[in-house]
Amino acid sequence: MAAIKPTFTLLLLGVWAVVLLGSCYAESEDEDGFTEQDPEGSPTYMKMAHYAVSTQTKGKKVYDTVVELGYVATKVLQGSTTYDLDFSTAPSNCTIGQVPYSAEKC
């Protein structure tokens, strides 16, 4: 019977460590109660992102606009839904104070 090489044993231990640490990491994210959603699964997600950028005007001359909605997660607690959104923004061509924010125009 062939002897098991030390490098194989170390590789096997490394794989098991990654699997165990990965499963612990995944469990800790589930503890917060959020469930990941498809960012394109509902137009409501994009509307909320646009609302968020439309309210962030302090120290800015132009509105930001949503470029991409990258991550959406929801948590329902006592009938109320909490949203966790991750999106990227860029400056728009709409000047704050001159025109109201519009997702279509800005």
In this predicted model, what pLDDT tens digit does every residue of 58-95 receive, in sequence order?
Answer: 999 999 999 999 999 999 999 999 999 999 999 999 99
- The answer to whether residues 24 and 47 belong to one domain is no
pLDDT tens-digit readout, 5-22: 444 443 444 444 444 444
Query: Model's pTM, two decimal places?
Result: 0.67
Identify the DSSP state of 2. Answer: P
- The answer to whether residues 103 and 69 belong to one domain is yes
Taking CA atoms, 69 is separated from 1, 18, 86, 93, 96, in Å, by 56, 30, 6, 20, 23
- The answer to whether residues 46 and 87 belong to one domain is yes
Token duo for residue 31 = 């503890």
Token duo for residue 26 = 């995944």
CATH code of the domain containing 39: 3.10.450.10
- Report helix, strand or coil for 83: strand
Structural domain that includes position 51: 33-106
- The answer to whether residues 4 and 24 belong to one domain is yes
- The answer to whether residues 61 and 17 belong to one domain is no
- The answer to whether residues 12 and 63 belong to one domain is no
Please tell me the total count of domains within the chain: 2
- Report helix, strand or coil for 4: coil
